[in-house]
Structure 1
């Protein structure tokens, strides 16, 4: 949208240089977004929009009547194909000016992305399926890393070492260690291994 707004600033600059050549003028644009941004006074405008609005006010004080009109692309107006060609060519030129989006635009984007992410998350399959409470608690603690295993207890200052006190492997006691810990061989599922490790550590 910034490119189109940048382009739409140009006709207004030309008008200021040709004040004696017109009284009324219609500016045609195929960018509905650019026109709406210019006329919508409720939005917090970008710098370009503020400059365009200021120019329109100045022209109004000089008794010049400006009308903005949206035209769909490729509607058969003479020169439209040439304008489209130049617009495409213009997008290939490196834009050196940094156009900061308005606060309202950023707010809308953040809100839209948050809603999109929430909808994806709400439709996603459950990370923890419908399990009995004991299994759900074990899964939740192992997934978050806030469990009763040595690595977490060491991290929060309760244990002196993060290593497993139940076996000679001398490796940090976490979820992946439970699968290879010789002391947990009797248990078949990760949930059983977790509760078995807790019982043995008490």
Structure 2
């Protein structure tokens, strides 16, 4: 596209009455023929179309001809040789780039920068999340994107992972509860809710045994289960909360 635009520009500079531009890029010629452009069209294509319009305005007749590449056409072979020589001679041309050319690299750098800053913040404000979340597996889509579970299931797991759930400890920290103690008298954090509360001893024992059967290392850290990518493990956590009538 850039080469065709440069050829049109050259024809205008020399005030040629007519010119034939030969190219082996069928896709570029078809794009110019369709003439359908939008806000996402790259600057090089827009520039080439503008030059064609200028040529029409001043009366320069320009035709384009497609020829197959690598077909032993003498003129085309010479053009390829000159093009390759031009790549390594003199200063490279200053070619403007559009979103299609810039975004892949910019998006990659933006994701890398965001990830580094995110885990830096987690190390100071959410050390549990930073400890158990696998940053190397950070995806562009959410973990629950294809999870066939109710909305309440997903929101509960998200609250458990972030620590922003309705435990006595968190509510006290937010100033919404006078004490951080559970009804049993012990600090009511997430670990206590699942494994430490005497009021749920039987259900906790069943959950511990079920998680043990899934080969979690002993003694079981409840956060290993909370951050598990296995739905059957997450189902066990939700079943425990439902059985004990705990709303988080």
Cα shift at 1:15: 0.9
What aligned pairs does 1:126-137 form with structure 2 within 5 A after superposition?
126-128=146-148
3-state SS, counterpart of residue 140 of structure 1? helix
Are residues 1:193 and 2:240 paired? yes
Aligned to 1:110: none
Runs of 5+ in structure 2 lacking a partner?
A: 104-140, 208-235
Structure 1: how far apart are the matches of 2:73 and 2:83?
Answer: 16
Cα distance change on mapping 1:197 and 1:42 into 2, 3 Å: same
Q: Which moved more, 1:88-97 or 1:9-18?
A: 88-97
Q: Secondary structure at the match of 2:74?
A: coil
Superposed counterparts of 1:7-86, under 5 Å: 7-20=3-16, 23-44=17-38, 46-84=42-80
Alpha-carbon shift at residue 190 of structure 1 (Å): 1.4
Q: State the alpha-carbon separation in 2 of the partners of residues 148 and 86 from structure 1.
A: 71
SS state at 1:19 partner: coil
Q: Does the 8 Å CA contact 2:19/2:62 hold for their aligned counterparts?
A: yes
In structure 1, the gaps of 5 or more residues are 107-120, 130-135
Q: Distance in 2 between matches of 1:190 and 1:90?
A: 65
Change (3 A) 1:54 1:126: closer
Who is 1:100 aligned against? Answer: 98
Give the whole-Å Cα distance in 1 for the aligned partners of 2:243 and 2:170. Answer: 17
- Displacement of 1:31 in angstroms is 2.4
Q: How many residues align?
A: 165
Q: Structure 2 length as normaliser, TM-score?
A: 0.46
Aligned position for 1:109: none
8 A contact 1:167–1:181 mirrored in 2: no
